[in-house]
Amino acid sequence: MTTVEILGAPFSNYVRSALMALEEKGVPYTVTPSRAHAPEVNAIHPLGKIPCLKHGDFTLFESAAIATYIDRAFEGPALFPAEPQAAARCMQWVSLLNSSLVPAFQAFAMCHFFPMTADGEPCPDTIAASLPKTRDHLQLLGRVLGESGYFVGGSFTYADIAALPMLDYLKDLPETGTIIAEIPALGAYLAKHSARKSFEATKPPAMAELMATTKAMAREMMQKRVA
Protein backbone atom coordinates (compact mmCIF):
# COMPACT_ATOMS: atom_id res chain seq x y z
CA MET A 1 0.00 0.00 0.00
CA THR A 2 1.09 3.62 -0.41
CA THR A 3 2.81 5.72 2.23
CA VAL A 4 0.63 7.42 4.83
CA GLU A 5 0.22 11.14 4.13
CA ILE A 6 -0.74 13.65 6.81
CA LEU A 7 -2.15 16.97 5.66
CA GLY A 8 -1.81 19.85 8.06
CA ALA A 9 0.39 22.61 9.43
CA PRO A 10 2.97 20.81 11.58
CA PHE A 11 2.67 23.56 14.22
CA SER A 12 -0.90 22.49 15.04
CA ASN A 13 -0.98 20.49 18.27
CA TYR A 14 -3.50 18.08 16.68
CA VAL A 15 -1.29 17.52 13.66
CA ARG A 16 1.63 16.91 16.00
CA SER A 17 -0.39 14.25 17.87
CA ALA A 18 -1.06 12.43 14.58
CA LEU A 19 2.64 12.64 13.70
CA MET A 20 3.66 11.43 17.16
CA ALA A 21 1.35 8.43 16.73
CA LEU A 22 3.11 7.55 13.44
CA GLU A 23 6.53 8.03 15.03
CA GLU A 24 5.61 5.82 18.01
CA LYS A 25 4.48 3.04 15.65
CA GLY A 26 7.53 3.46 13.40
CA VAL A 27 5.30 3.98 10.34
CA PRO A 28 6.84 5.90 7.40
CA TYR A 29 4.84 8.99 6.44
CA THR A 30 4.92 12.22 4.49
CA VAL A 31 3.55 15.59 5.60
CA THR A 32 1.77 17.95 3.20
CA PRO A 33 1.97 21.31 5.00
CA SER A 34 -1.63 22.39 4.37
CA ARG A 35 -3.45 25.09 6.29
CA ALA A 36 -6.97 24.58 7.64
CA HIS A 37 -9.57 25.18 4.91
CA ALA A 38 -7.06 24.66 2.07
CA PRO A 39 -8.79 22.98 -0.91
CA GLU A 40 -7.03 19.63 -0.31
CA VAL A 41 -8.17 19.71 3.36
CA ASN A 42 -11.73 20.73 2.47
CA ALA A 43 -11.80 17.74 0.10
CA ILE A 44 -11.42 15.43 3.12
CA HIS A 45 -12.74 17.25 6.19
CA PRO A 46 -16.30 18.60 5.97
CA LEU A 47 -15.30 21.48 8.31
CA GLY A 48 -11.87 22.06 6.76
CA LYS A 49 -9.89 21.20 9.89
CA ILE A 50 -6.43 19.67 10.19
CA PRO A 51 -5.02 17.03 10.47
CA CYS A 52 -6.33 14.85 7.68
CA LEU A 53 -4.90 11.48 6.60
CA LYS A 54 -4.63 9.86 3.19
CA HIS A 55 -3.59 6.22 2.82
CA GLY A 56 -4.15 5.01 -0.70
CA ASP A 57 -7.83 5.66 -1.41
CA PHE A 58 -8.66 5.88 2.29
CA THR A 59 -9.08 9.35 3.83
CA LEU A 60 -9.77 10.29 7.45
CA PHE A 61 -10.00 13.28 9.76
CA GLU A 62 -9.95 13.88 13.56
CA SER A 63 -6.63 13.25 15.30
CA ALA A 64 -7.93 10.52 17.65
CA ALA A 65 -9.52 8.65 14.73
CA ILE A 66 -6.30 8.97 12.76
CA ALA A 67 -4.33 7.54 15.71
CA THR A 68 -6.84 4.68 16.03
CA TYR A 69 -6.37 3.81 12.36
CA ILE A 70 -2.58 3.98 12.62
CA ASP A 71 -2.67 1.78 15.71
CA ARG A 72 -4.83 -0.91 14.13
CA ALA A 73 -3.46 -0.84 10.60
CA PHE A 74 0.21 -1.21 11.49
CA GLU A 75 2.53 -3.33 13.60
CA GLY A 76 4.39 -1.67 16.44
CA PRO A 77 3.80 -0.70 20.05
CA ALA A 78 0.10 -0.27 20.92
CA LEU A 79 -1.09 3.33 21.25
CA PHE A 80 -4.40 2.31 22.80
CA PRO A 81 -4.50 -0.38 25.51
CA ALA A 82 -6.18 -3.69 24.61
CA GLU A 83 -7.62 -4.34 28.08
CA PRO A 84 -11.21 -2.92 28.14
CA GLN A 85 -10.97 -0.79 31.26
CA ALA A 86 -7.59 0.66 30.33
CA ALA A 87 -8.81 1.33 26.75
CA ALA A 88 -11.86 3.14 28.10
CA ARG A 89 -9.71 5.09 30.57
CA CYS A 90 -7.47 6.21 27.71
CA MET A 91 -10.46 7.47 25.68
CA GLN A 92 -11.91 9.09 28.79
CA TRP A 93 -8.87 11.38 29.04
CA VAL A 94 -8.64 12.02 25.29
CA SER A 95 -12.29 13.06 25.36
CA LEU A 96 -11.80 15.32 28.38
CA LEU A 97 -8.77 16.98 26.83
CA ASN A 98 -10.67 17.74 23.63
CA SER A 99 -14.03 18.64 25.11
CA SER A 100 -12.93 20.54 28.25
CA LEU A 101 -9.25 21.51 28.32
CA VAL A 102 -9.15 22.79 24.72
CA PRO A 103 -12.26 25.00 25.06
CA ALA A 104 -10.79 26.34 28.33
CA PHE A 105 -7.54 27.55 26.76
CA GLN A 106 -8.50 28.06 23.12
CA ALA A 107 -9.41 31.75 23.29
CA PHE A 108 -6.28 32.41 25.34
CA ALA A 109 -3.95 30.60 22.92
CA MET A 110 -5.66 32.06 19.86
CA CYS A 111 -5.17 35.60 21.08
CA HIS A 112 -1.44 34.94 21.54
CA PHE A 113 -0.94 33.18 18.21
CA PHE A 114 -3.59 34.96 16.11
CA PRO A 115 -4.16 38.37 17.77
CA MET A 116 -6.92 39.88 15.65
CA THR A 117 -6.17 43.32 17.11
CA ALA A 118 -5.10 46.56 15.44
CA ASP A 119 -1.75 46.59 17.29
CA GLY A 120 -1.09 42.85 16.84
CA GLU A 121 -0.87 42.35 20.61
CA PRO A 122 -2.92 39.77 22.54
CA CYS A 123 -6.13 41.16 24.02
CA PRO A 124 -5.65 41.42 27.83
CA ASP A 125 -9.39 41.00 28.51
CA THR A 126 -9.50 37.71 26.59
CA ILE A 127 -6.47 36.48 28.51
CA ALA A 128 -7.94 37.48 31.87
CA ALA A 129 -11.28 35.83 31.04
CA SER A 130 -9.75 32.49 29.97
CA LEU A 131 -7.15 32.02 32.66
CA PRO A 132 -9.27 30.84 35.64
CA LYS A 133 -10.72 27.83 33.75
CA THR A 134 -7.39 27.05 32.14
CA ARG A 135 -5.76 27.08 35.58
CA ASP A 136 -8.44 24.72 36.98
CA HIS A 137 -7.86 22.25 34.15
CA LEU A 138 -4.08 22.38 34.46
CA GLN A 139 -4.36 21.75 38.18
CA LEU A 140 -6.64 18.80 37.49
CA LEU A 141 -4.08 17.36 35.06
CA GLY A 142 -1.36 17.87 37.65
CA ARG A 143 -3.36 15.77 40.14
CA VAL A 144 -4.05 13.04 37.55
CA LEU A 145 -0.50 12.85 36.26
CA GLY A 146 1.20 13.34 39.59
CA GLU A 147 1.08 9.69 40.63
CA SER A 148 2.56 7.76 37.72
CA GLY A 149 3.42 10.35 35.08
CA TYR A 150 0.94 8.71 32.67
CA PHE A 151 -2.80 9.06 32.11
CA VAL A 152 -3.37 5.29 32.13
CA GLY A 153 -1.60 3.15 34.73
CA GLY A 154 2.13 3.10 34.10
CA SER A 155 1.96 3.06 30.30
CA PHE A 156 2.43 5.62 27.56
CA THR A 157 -0.79 5.75 25.54
CA TYR A 158 -2.54 7.96 23.03
CA ALA A 159 -3.89 10.04 25.93
CA ASP A 160 -0.29 11.19 26.54
CA ILE A 161 0.19 11.76 22.82
CA ALA A 162 -2.92 13.97 22.79
CA ALA A 163 -1.86 15.96 25.86
CA LEU A 164 1.87 16.52 25.32
CA PRO A 165 1.66 18.82 22.26
CA MET A 166 -0.95 20.98 24.05
CA LEU A 167 1.08 21.22 27.26
CA ASP A 168 4.27 21.90 25.32
CA TYR A 169 2.65 25.07 23.91
CA LEU A 170 1.01 26.12 27.14
CA LYS A 171 4.30 25.92 29.05
CA ASP A 172 5.86 28.37 26.54
CA LEU A 173 3.09 30.99 26.67
CA PRO A 174 3.66 33.58 29.39
CA GLU A 175 0.57 33.22 31.62
CA THR A 176 0.13 29.45 31.32
CA GLY A 177 3.90 29.02 31.63
CA THR A 178 3.65 30.64 35.06
CA ILE A 179 0.73 28.40 36.05
CA ILE A 180 2.55 25.23 34.89
CA ALA A 181 5.67 26.30 36.77
CA GLU A 182 3.52 26.33 39.92
CA ILE A 183 2.34 22.72 39.36
CA PRO A 184 5.43 20.52 39.88
CA ALA A 185 3.66 17.37 38.63
CA LEU A 186 3.09 18.97 35.22
CA GLY A 187 6.70 20.12 34.94
CA ALA A 188 7.81 16.61 35.89
CA TYR A 189 5.41 15.10 33.32
CA LEU A 190 6.79 17.29 30.53
CA ALA A 191 10.37 16.58 31.60
CA LYS A 192 9.68 12.83 31.74
CA HIS A 193 8.38 12.64 28.18
CA SER A 194 10.14 15.45 26.36
CA ALA A 195 13.14 13.26 25.52
CA ARG A 196 10.87 10.75 23.74
CA LYS A 197 11.87 10.29 20.11
CA SER A 198 8.31 10.91 18.86
CA PHE A 199 8.16 14.20 20.79
CA GLU A 200 11.59 15.35 19.61
CA ALA A 201 11.00 14.35 15.98
CA THR A 202 7.76 16.36 15.75
CA LYS A 203 8.88 19.55 17.51
CA PRO A 204 7.28 22.69 16.04
CA PRO A 205 9.46 25.70 15.20
CA ALA A 206 10.74 27.76 18.14
CA MET A 207 8.06 29.99 19.69
CA ALA A 208 9.43 33.28 18.25
CA GLU A 209 9.54 31.89 14.71
CA LEU A 210 6.13 30.27 15.10
CA MET A 211 4.53 33.47 16.40
CA ALA A 212 5.97 35.42 13.48
CA THR A 213 4.24 32.95 11.13
CA THR A 214 0.89 32.86 12.93
CA LYS A 215 0.78 36.64 13.46
CA ALA A 216 1.41 37.12 9.73
CA MET A 217 -1.50 34.72 9.08
CA ALA A 218 -3.67 36.78 11.47
CA ARG A 219 -2.80 40.01 9.60
CA GLU A 220 -3.68 38.30 6.31
CA MET A 221 -7.05 37.18 7.74
CA MET A 222 -7.77 40.72 9.01
CA GLN A 223 -6.94 42.23 5.61
CA LYS A 224 -9.32 39.76 3.93
CA ARG A 225 -12.06 40.80 6.38
CA VAL A 226 -11.60 44.48 5.49
CA ALA A 227 -11.33 43.87 1.73
Ligand X SMILES: N[C@@H](CCC(=O)N[C@@H](CS)C(=O)NCC(=O)O)C(=O)O
Judged by the rule CB under 6 A, the positions of this chain that interact with ligand X are 12-14, 36, 48-51, 62-64, 98
Could you give phi then psi for residue 34, rounded to 5 degrees?
A: -90, 145
Q: Which is nearer to ligand X, 63 or 198 (CB)?
A: 63
Q: Which is nearer to ligand X, 4 or 183 (CB)?
A: 4
Q: What CA–CA distance (Å, rounded) separates 171 from 207?
A: 11
Q: What CA–CA distance (Å, rounded) separates 200 from 220?
A: 31
Q: What CA–CA distance (Å, rounded) separates 83 from 81?
A: 6
Q: Which is nearer to ligand X, 15 or 183 (CB)?
A: 15
For 153: left if phi > 0, alpha if psi spans -120 to 50, otherwise beta; the answer is left
Q: How far is the CB of 12 from ligand X (least distance, A)?
A: 4
Q: Which is nearer to ligand X, 45 or 193 (CB)?
A: 45
DSSP code, position 48:
-
Q: What CA–CA distance (Å, rounded) separates 4 from 6?
A: 7
Q: How far is the CB of 182 from ligand X (least distance, A)?
A: 26
Q: How far is the CB of 19 from ligand X (least distance, A)?
A: 12
Q: How far is the CB of 34 from ligand X (least distance, A)?
A: 10
